[in-house]
Amino acid sequence: MSGLRVVSIGPSVTVQDQGRPGFVASGLSRGGAVDLLALSEGAALLGQCADLATLEMAGFGGVFKAERDLRIALTGAAMQASLDGAPLRWNASHAVPMGAELRIGAASSGGYGYLHLGGGVDAPMVMGARSTDLNSQIGRRVADGDLLPVGPDVGGPVGCVLDGASRDDGGTIRMVRSFQTPLFAKDELARFEATVFHRDMRGNRMGVRLKPQGAGFQAEGGLTVLSEIIMIGDVQMTGDGAPFVLLPEAQTTGGYPRIGTILPCDLPKLVQAPPDADLRFTFITLEEALDAERAFKAQLADLPRQIAPLIRAPGDVPDLLTYQLISGVARGDEEH
């Protein structure tokens, strides 16, 4: 068995895919990648399915050694990356020859970066997914010395770039109302939409706390809310009135009042926002939300058509001999 050897690793790196939907009634959250858009971007760069497992790196990556020729893609929060000392472009695919050292450092923006392998990480399949779910004790964090086995790679181009959707500068997050939204008075809802929030860096894969500029928000009769099913993207209002956004490893039931639910297509913008980015919320109708989700799915389907060649100076390409330079010249001669 060969693949990518972990020389050293950051404190919060796990194997993730699209998760395990359908088990909420049994007490297991969906899990999976925090930024599902990053999975589709990596799949487009490598020309493979978006349901393959990848490495999710929270804030910091690690040092890796290739034990076979590999194709990789880097998406999500931009991190400092190099191959045998030469810098690597983020939101791009690269060839990693056997024996090469890949270094991924701290995130320069955003919170979660993703390392994709051609063929995916061939981690054990548990309940239909390869995702690590620390809260449910499925799998564990990646550790120093681990060998990440790689699945069958269909092959394809490398040296490609994708201008990923911007989601590391905050902005407006769309929400729909829930059954508990009426627990908040109309003036509280209006103040919620008018308030600027910032991410609290103490968040994790269970959820992230938001800090409002000004007083917190209270629900009428919030202490009498019964515990009921909750979903990813629900915005709970904690005891001090600060919103807490539930993420893939959140519990499946809860009793805090929920002011609304964030659209799945807008969650990447929230989880990748840096602490100093301004975040605002706006309520939209269910019909508008469905239109937004349909547009997002169309955007994902169009990603492969947005791939472009990564142009670099030959001296900056450590794996230059892995590229099909001759065929490129031949095609050019034929055109003339």
pLDDT in tens, 6-26: 999 999 999 999 999 888 888
Residue 118 confidence (pLDDT) above 60: yes
Higher pLDDT, 92 or 157: 92
pLDDT band of 115, cuts 50, 70, 90: very high
The tens digit of pLDDT for each residue in 292-313 reads 999 999 999 999 999 999 875 5
C-alpha 112/C-alpha 94 separation (Å) is 20
Q: With CA atoms as reference, report the closest residue to 106 among 204, 213, 13.
A: 13
Higher pLDDT, 255 or 332: 255
Residue 327 confidence (pLDDT) above 90: no
The tens digit of pLDDT for each residue in 137-150 reads 999 999 999 999 99
Q: What percent of the chain has pLDDT over 70?
A: 90
Strand pairing partners for 56?
Answer: 14, 114
Q: What pLDDT sits at residue 328? A: 39
pLDDT band of 326, cuts 50, 70, 90: very low
Residue 123 confidence (pLDDT) above 80: yes
Q: What pLDDT sits at residue 109? A: 79
Residue 322 confidence (pLDDT) above 70: no
Q: What pLDDT sits at residue 317? A: 58
Q: With CA atoms as reference, report the closest residue to 19 among 37, 35, 32.
A: 32
Mean pLDDT of 272-294: 95
C-alpha 228/C-alpha 223 separation (Å) is 14
Give ∠ CA 138-93-38 in degrees, rounded to 5.
Answer: 45
Mean pLDDT of the chain: 89
pTM of the model: 0.89
| 165-174, 208-217, 249-258, 319-328: least confident range | 319-328
Q: What pLDDT sits at residue 186? A: 94
Mean pLDDT of 52-77: 96
Tell me which residue has tokens 């239109």. 291
Q: What pLDDT sits at residue 335? A: 34
Q: What pLDDT sits at residue 229? A: 84
**DSSP element (H, E) containing 105:** strand 101-107
Residue 106 CA, distance from chain mean position: 16
C-alpha 52/C-alpha 280 separation (Å) is 33
pLDDT band of 221, cuts 50, 70, 90: low
Q: What pLDDT sits at residue 142? A: 97
Higher pLDDT, 296 or 165: 296
Q: What pLDDT sits at residue 2? A: 84
Between the alpha carbon of residue 129 and those of residues 22, 53, 112, 117, 152, the distances in Å are: 12, 8, 20, 17, 17
The dihedral formed by the CA atoms of 299, 281, 260 and 204, expressed in degrees to the nearest 10? 80
Mean pLDDT of 88-116: 94
